[in-house]
Amino acid sequence: MFTDLKNYFKSFLVLALGMFFWPTMVDVFSAGSPKMRIFFMSWNSAIFPLALLFSFGSAVIGAIIVYKGKRSENVLAEANEKDRFWNEDDMIEEIRSVFYKVQNAWENNNAEYIKDYATPSFLNSFKELLKNKNDDSHIIDKIEISEIEVIGCQEFLDKKEDKFEGYIKGSFATSTINPATNEPVKKEFSELYYFVRIGNDWTLNMIDYKVGIWDILSIKNICE
C-alpha cells in the first residue's frame, strides 16, 4: 500500500544504516594515516547524531504509513456497516471511472465531459487548466493503472459532510519518442482524487497532481 511512500521510507532507512556503518569505513580508509583518522573521527562525531535522527525519523514515518493504511481500512469497514454507500469496491471503481473521464476531457479540451461528475469549483479550476494547456505537450496514450487505493474516509452524522480521498498510480506513453527503441517514452504518475458526497453520488472536488509524503500524512480518517 502507498508504493511511493514505501520507496521513500526505504531510501530514508538505507541512508540511516549507511551512517551507522560510517565508523567502519573510517577504520578502513584511514588505516596508516593519523591525519586522515583525526579528520574522519571529527567528521564521525557529527555524523553519528544524524544517523540516530535519520533512523528515528525512518521508524516514525514507517509506523505512520502503516497506521494510516490500517486506519483507513478499519474506518471504511465501520462506515460500510452503517451505510452501504461506503462500499470499497464501488469507491475504487468510482476513482477509476472518474480518472478516465478527466483524461478524456483533457485530451478533447472539453470540461463539459466531466460536468456531471465534478463540483462547480473543480470544474472552474479544470477550465483554467485547459486554457493554459500547451497543445503540443501533455499528449498521453496507453494509460496503465498499477494501483488504486481509498486512503482517507471521513464519514459524518451529517451525510452532506461525507468525503473520501483516492490514491491512483500508473504510467502513460508520452508524445516523445525514444530514438534508441523508436517507442514512446513512458512516464509514471501518482495523483490524489478528492471526492465529496452530494446526495447519493460521489463527486470529484479536487485533484492533487503531485503527491508527497505530507499529503498522505495529512489525510484524516473519521467515522462518527
Give Cα separations from 100 to 120, 141, 173 (angstroms): 19, 12, 15
- Segment 112-120 mean pLDDT: 95
**Is the pLDDT confidence value at 14 over 70?**
no
d(Cα 39, Cα 25) in Å, to the nearest integer?
A: 13
Grid coordinates representing 99 are: 480518472
Give the whole-angstrom CA distance, residue 139 versus residue 154: 35
Average pLDDT value for the chain: 77
221 half-sphere exposure, CB direction, 13 A CA radius = 20
223 near 153, Cβ under 8 Å?
Answer: yes
pLDDT exceeds cutoff 60 at 30: no
DSSP 126: H
Per-residue pLDDT tens over the stretch 170-182: 988 877 787 888 8
Q: Which of 63-72, 185-194, 202-211 has the highest average model confidence (pLDDT)?
A: 202-211
Mean pLDDT on 140-161: 87
